[in-house]
């Protein structure tokens, strides 16, 4: 595991490389981010961003989603994959937001994960991006890279990785750090053929490849 100084070096290096740590999913309303994250499961953010403009134009309010036929929602999100389950979750989630929370996306882990189709990864993203709270979004990039760097023990279990990151990352850095993990994973530390030769974190990595 890394020392406090090494953790700080990793954070600052990534800040320099990616000064704008933003979620790549596009949205205007809080619930739109909630739905977009559901669509992104086993699908690229790029694909989701192509699909959501037409989806949100057809269903412009939370109420319209709650009243929607999941089959029609599925027609708009078909290319995201697993569209039947995702469409059912989106409609059910819209209903739950209206019935339980007055149409507002809740701001606690417990309330968020009680919504249909919402797990800890999604809940953490909402807490960080919408509410500015400490958030540890453990997607595949974050799990892979933090394991390689030695910030975690290499576990593939998102809950365990989240727990370990809470122990080493300053809370105020957590949300942006996880966004930077995604950017770093896409352009440098890929799952296959990582670009270790030009990696700015190579000297801090536990598993560099030659």
Question: Which residues are annotated as catalytic?
Answer: 121, 139
DSSP 8-state code for residue 120: H
Measured CA to CA, the distance from residue 124 to residue 16 in angstroms comes to 24
DSSP 8-state code for residue 169: S
Q: Hey, what are 187's tokens?
A: 């352009």
How far is CA 146 from each of CA 68, 152, 160, 169, rounded to the nearest angstrom?
40, 6, 12, 11
């Amino acid at each position: 595991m890394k020392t406090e100084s090494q953790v700080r070096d990793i954070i600052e290096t990534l800040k320099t490389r990616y000064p704008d740590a933003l979620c790549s999913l596009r949205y205007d309303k809080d619930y739109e981010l909630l739905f977009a994250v559901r669509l992104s499961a086993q699908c690229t953010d790029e694909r989701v961003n192509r699909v959501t403009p037409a989806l949100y134009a057809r269903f412009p309010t939370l109420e319209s989603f709650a009243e929607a036929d999941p089959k029609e929602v599925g027609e708009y999100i078909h290319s995201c994959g697993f569209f039947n389950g995702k469409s059912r979750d989106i409609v059910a989630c819209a209903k739950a937001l209206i019935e339980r929370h007055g149409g507002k996306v809740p701001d606690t882990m417990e309330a968020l994960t009680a919504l249909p189709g919402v797990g800890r990864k999604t809940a953490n993203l909402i807490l960080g991006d919408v509410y500015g709270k400490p958030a540890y979004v453990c997607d595949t990039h974050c799990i892979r890279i933090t394991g390689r760097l030695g910030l975690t023990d290499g576990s593939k279990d998102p809950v365990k990785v989240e727990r370990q990151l809470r122990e080493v990352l300053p809370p105020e850095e957590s949300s942006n750090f996880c966004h930077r993990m995604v950017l770093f994973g896409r352009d440098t530390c890929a799952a296959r053929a990582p670009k270790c030769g030009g990696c700015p974190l190579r000297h801090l990595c536990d598993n560099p490849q030659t």
